[in-house]
Amino acid sequence: MNHQKRILVTGAGGFIGHHLVKRLKADRHWVRGADIKYPDYESSPADQFEILDLRKFENCLLATRGAVDEVYNLAADMGGIGYITACHADISRNNILINAQMLEAARQNAVQRFLFSSSACVYNQAKQKEAEVKPLAEEDAYPADPEPGYGWEKLFAEQLCHYYHWDYGFETRIVRFHNVYGPLGTYEGGKEKAPAALSRKVALAENGSEIEVWGDGEQTRSFMYVNDCVEGLIRIMASQYHDALNLGTEELVTINRLVDLVAGIAGKQIKKRHNLDGPQGVRGRNSENTRLRQVLGWEPSIRLEQGLAMTYPWIASRVVGQAAAEMAAD
């Protein structure tokens, strides 16, 4: 079989990385996956999968060896709002080491293109204080006031990509993710995001009972299904665009509405108990996709209700199974 490209996916043991490897293999590329852990729920389809701590430069050189054409650098220490608001030092140190050293190793090993996965957490917090928030265009990251820790290190790594492009002519791409969800995503343990956390809570709740919701539930977000995310990554890598691009949907929902959608899919009546002391992040955040449409002629199109209908059953089957196994063990 003739492979089209040799591609490295870092963070291939993670949620988005695993889905991306599956898609790249379906497109007949040769793929090496690198991560500090194996995928949680199913084995990787990568041609090679290597356990590497990319905070160490020699491991970054190893990962990018052997005439790799493209690097999708998805490796990151990250999680949901509870985690990223509690661990600023660890997250910032780990991710700065990974990103700076992966860039340099890729350059030294003559990689042709390098895609960096940034985040909507880079956006100026003053522009996210209302639930009915104006969608965030790429230039709204400046003047800089990103989320502490995670947002600052992502914004710095974006600049580092620009410097590598300007100084070395190194082909970099920058993608700002907006809340990706779907099957195989983390749903427990503190690093899960809102759709997965709420799906877990609804799955474990009795019909007619209540679940805890952080904040008053009127904070807003947009959410992107993982298949749209993977399609966008591949299209942005193939583009000639070097500046940061949003990758998300423009479908803004409150967290209360998200609970109602999940409960509807589960066929349950669920009450909400709001925990005003729970972390809730910025008040509102939505993606502005004008530039994405201009550059790619495409944008994410899977509606939240569609994506949740594919995500909830996957999470529910696991948490209900786990609960039953724990009861049997008792």
How does pLDDT run across 145-164, given as a tens digit for each residue? 999 999 999 999 999 999 99
pLDDT recorded at residue 278: 78
pLDDT at residue 1 greater than cutoff 60: no
Whether 241 is catalytic: no
- Mean pLDDT of the region 108-128: 96
Residue of 72, 150, 187, 225 with catalytic role: 150
pLDDT recorded at residue 78: 84
Residues with Cβ within 8 Å of 55's Cβ and at least 6 positions away in sequence, in order, are: 94, 97, 98, 101
Reported as a pLDDT band with limits 50, 70 and 90, residue 80 is confident
> How many residues can be counted in the chain?
330
Residues with Cβ within 8 Å of 317's Cβ and at least 6 positions away in sequence, in order, are: none
Pick among 3.40.50.720, 3.10.580.10, 1.20.120.1780, 1.10.10.410: CATH of 6-181+225-247:
3.40.50.720
- The pLDDT tens digits for 200-250 are 999 999 999 999 999 999 999 999 999 999 999 999 999 999 999 999 999
Whether 299 contacts 292, CB under 8 Å: yes
Domain residues of the chain, as ranges? 6-181+225-247
Q: What type of residue is 240?
A: Q
Of the candidates 27, 2, 22, 4, the one whose C-alpha atom is nearest the C-alpha of residue 12 is 22
CA angle, corner 109, sides to 103 and 112, nearest 5? Answer: 75
Please, what's the b/e burial string for 47-66 (b: 16 or more CB within 10 A of its CB; e: otherwise)? eebeebebbeeebbbbbbee
Sign of the CA dihedral running 260, 262, 267, 271:
negative
Of the candidates 57, 133, 102, 73, the one whose C-alpha atom is nearest the C-alpha of residue 285 is 133
- Mean pLDDT of the region 32-43: 94
